[in-house]
Amino acid sequence: MLVTPPELASGLEIHQGEASAGTQRDIIVIGASAGGVEALSILIRALPDSLSAAIFIVIHLPAHLPSMLPNILARISRLPVSAAQDNLPIRGGQVYIAPPDYHLLLEPGVMRLLHGPKENRFRPAIDPLFRTAAKAYGPRVIGIVLTGSLDDGTSGLLAIKRHKGLAVVQDPAEALFSSMPRSAITHVAVDHVVKLEEMADLLSNLTQPAPEDDPARSDVADLPEPKTPRELELLQLDDSVSGTPSVFSCPECHGTLWEIQDGDMSRYRCRVGHRFSPESMLSEQMETLETSLWSALKTLEEQAALLRRLAAQAQERNQGQMTARFTERIHETESRASLIRNVLLDGILTKPIDEFATSPQDEQ
């Protein structure tokens, strides 16, 4: 069954994410990060073969390695599992997984892959999938945030709720990494917070097969013309709220960042499309700072080595005053290098951002 949005979908009156009698929930988008393979394995294994919804999964992956996730999930799933492909028509009852180094986006009737700007330091990122699913399918979307660090998926889940979709979050108490679920619960009016073992039954209840005469059923001829690469890029960049220039620069391209207020959370976007939540930007800044400090340490150690050579040459020529000056510079340079080395070895720059976050108990 091809899945395309009915023309009447935009006219449905939905409140608090609850579908009207005529709304079918047949698009499920799932985001996961650290600990995600285990969580997805538990969830996908439990899904029945009667599930009629199309399922799309983004998990943060290294760009330079092939993903084995489709093979892993295909071995345990009752539903067909495959890697997402550009311009592939969307069919219900199948699981599609974003490949490494490409954002997975949804258009009416088709999935798209885009090597666009990173979001929250990742490509694929969760937010672009959630955002475009919400825009294309509105109240028919169920967005799910599973285990992971930082907060990718929160902004996308807000978009799903704005378009009258449902928000489901893994219980943070059981998540291997609870930051992503906690962020979603903090900032989004989540409809369901459930354990993984309960999630398959919940999805079965929330999704029902469409009647034979449902306008969701469509022929390939009804699908829209594929977007050009530039139009696809604009689809990823789409924002429903405008922003204002901030005092920050993009850690990726060093352009000016615009601050966008999305509900009660801020996020940042540069001209070319890199996006950051405050937490992901802080993480990127700390990584950039660590790289800069290692470079500074290398330069200082090379400078000290050169000064020692110059001091030795001056001593061979019996240039006592010059030798003393070089020796003093050596001590100053080694002292600065020692300070930087201590900062790096202390580990503060690699401390997980989650540890800086306020816990729910602190907010009470």
Active site residues: 33, 60, 152
Buried b (16+ CB within 10 A) or exposed e, 61-99: beeeeebebbebbeeebebebebbeeeeebebbbbbbbb
**Residue 240 to residue 135: CA distance in whole angstroms:** 10
Please give the sequence-ordered ranges of beta strands (E in DSSP) within the chain, or none if there are none: 27-32, 54-59, 81-83, 88-89, 95-97, 103-107, 110-114, 141-145, 166-170, 192-194, 243-249, 256-262, 265-270, 275-276
Residue 56 near residue 129, CB atoms below 8 Å: yes
Q: How far apart are the first and last CA of the chain?
A: 48
Nearest to 279, CA basis, from 151, 166, 87, 172: 151
- Give the relative orientation of helices 126-137 and 154-162 as an angle to the nearest 10 degrees: 10
What is the distance between the alpha carbons of residues 123 and 117, in angstroms, rounded to a whole number? 8
